Amino acid sequence: MSLGIIFVLGIVNFALHRAVLDSNHPLLDTLPASFRSGGGRFALAFEFVVLLTAMLLAGHGWPAAAWAYGFYSFLNGITAWLILNGRM
């Protein structure tokens, strides 16, 4: 059950991350060039590593990983909403 929830949250996180990268918000200019180069491939790869780690931990009996990834997703959602709506 927790793997399914983490997987769905991962899809949402990838979509939010791509939307923020495509927004060309001025705040993105403060990121290191490695995060912005190649259309944000390094940033999306980092997002994948976080997702994979959470799924591996949850799959091996660490239910706290699901809670931690849920909190991480919540913070990503708030940040993306602030950036995409011009409130930041």
pLDDT attached to residue 26: 82
Chain position carrying tokens 């990838």: 14
Query: Within its chain, how far is the Cα of 12 from the centroid?
Result: 8
Count of domains observed in the chain: 1
pLDDT attached to residue 27: 79
pLDDT attached to residue 16: 93
| pTM for this entry | 0.84
Q: CA-to-CA distance for 61 and 84, rounded, in angstroms?
A: 36
pLDDT attached to residue 12: 95
Tell me the pLDDT of the chain (88 aa) as tens digits.
889 999 999 999 999 989 988 888 887 778 777 776 777 788 889 899 999 999 999 999 998 999 999 999 999 999 999 999 887 7
Q: Are 58 and 66 in contact (CB under 8 A)?
A: yes
Range of the domain at 57: 2-32+41-84
Q: CA-to-CA distance for 48 and 40, rounded, in angstroms?
A: 12
- For the chain, give me the number of helices (H) and strands (E)? 4, 0
